[in-house]
Structure 1
Amino acid sequence: MNKKVLILNGHQYYDVVAKGELTQAYINKANDFFLKNGFEVKHTTIEKGYDKEEECEKFEWADYVLFQYPVYWMGLPWIAKKYIDETFTQGRHYSSDGRSRSDASKLYGSGGLLTGKKYMLSLTYNCPASAFNNKNSLFEGLSLDEAHVAVHKTFQFCGLKPLETYAVHDIFKGDLDLNAELEKFEKVLTKNFL
């Protein structure tokens, strides 16, 4: 039986600074990788609109989720956050917050229904990689994943397990070698999914 992956495109268009070509290049690379390796693939391009129930069904269908998005102001583009708010609150990804009045050992965040599934974040960033794990930088020593704790915990609340995160940095610096970055991306895809 083929493995199934949902590719979420969380890009939001802004003229000049965020037209979506870089996000699409990563999605194209991922799509080719998954098809070449026998995966069934479904896509959601959030900016084009979506049906909440259909999105819930896609999460239930998928073994894996690849969430590709640009980091805007240290987080998700607002339409991607809206997508999560609208689709994850349909009550189909979790039974409860996990706690139980009759069993105090059950912990908050343990009621997810999407167990056995995994997700990967793939991020495009203006900031340099050196901004992370650096106490003197804006992120005050946080790792890349720690800086995205809200997105990670949202997926984990629903029962999914994380795979290694990929990020491309310094995208506006002017010397981005996209082919080299896409090769790095494919190595992370290989490690995570094969």
Structure 2
Amino acid sequence: MSNILIINAHHHYSFSEGKLNGTLVQMADELLTAKGHQTRIVDVDKGWDVEQELANHQWADIILLQTPVNWMGVPWTFKKYMDEVYTAGMGGALCNGDGRKQDAPKANYGSGGTMDGKQYLISLTFNAPEEAFNDPEEYLFQGRGVDDLLFPMHMNFRFFGMTALDTFACYDVMKNPQIESDFQRFQAHLENQIRD
């Protein structure tokens, strides 16, 4: 069984209260604990303690990041969380600097992670329809996929030495939601990706 840190990165707006992301976090918690995993949940919108978050990351075998995609990235509150927590972890809790050595200062940037053997799973909610991705004819993403868009998040986790589980996404959640189907897909995704 695994220790799983679930991070709810949603930031409340009047038009987006966070019910979907909150429900996905609750579903993940219930499903994973029912299978015998240990979970901890962090709700970024409620604030955080840097030292506790470093301890949470060190405790976790798997980090599940649940986040909406706002303006092609994570909410600003989660960016602030990363700036504070991940910077504090540079002294060994998450990584030993950036991995470069004095005798080779231009090689191996980003290889200083101390979280080898740990995994992460990114779960996203989009206003964009699924059809906007992976199609060169579509205007905005020009054939790029979800993981291309979230490449900086993947690199943050890789910086710490972690490896990725498959990304999950709910699409078109504001204009054409398919919530019950999303919930079924999410449950199946977690069961497939996070084994007993």
TM-score (normalizing by structure 1): 0.94
The CA distance in 2 between the partners of 1:96 and 1:142, in whole Å, is 31
Cα shift at 1:101: 2.8
Report what 1:149 is aligned to: 151
Cα shift at 1:107: 1.2
Indicate the SS of the match to 1:28.
helix
Report what 1:186 is aligned to: 187
1:3-22 aligned within 5 A = 3-15=2-14, 17-22=15-20
Structure 1 unaligned residues grouped into runs of 5+:
none
Indicate the SS of the match to 1:184.
helix
Instruction: Output the aligned Cα RMSD.
Output: 1.4
Cα shift at 1:96: 1.9
Report what 2:103 is aligned to: 102
Q: Percent identity?
A: 35
CA-to-aligned-CA distance 1:23-61 (integer Å, 9 cap, x gap)? 011011101111111000001000001100100000000
Report what 1:170 is aligned to: 172
For 2:11, give the aligned amino acid: Q
CA-to-aligned-CA distance 1:138-180 (integer Å, 9 cap, x gap)? 0121111011001110011011111100000011124x23222
1:1-194 aligned within 5 A = 2-15=1-14, 17-90=15-88, 91=90, 92-103=93-104, 107-137=108-138, 138-174=140-176, 176-194=177-195
Structure 2 unaligned residues grouped into runs of 5+:
none
Cα shift at 1:99: 1.6
The CA distance in 1 between the partners of 2:130 and 2:178, in whole Å, is 15
Rate the CA distance shift 1:106–1:191 in 2: closer, same or farther, 3 A.
farther
Tell me the number of residue pairs that the alignment of Structure 1 and Structure 2 aligns.
191
For 2:32, give the aligned amino acid: F
TM-score (normalizing by structure 2): 0.93
For 1:124, give the aligned amino acid: T
CA-to-aligned-CA distance 1:109-143 (integer Å, 9 cap, x gap)? 11001111000000000001111112232012111
Indicate the SS of the match to 2:25.
helix
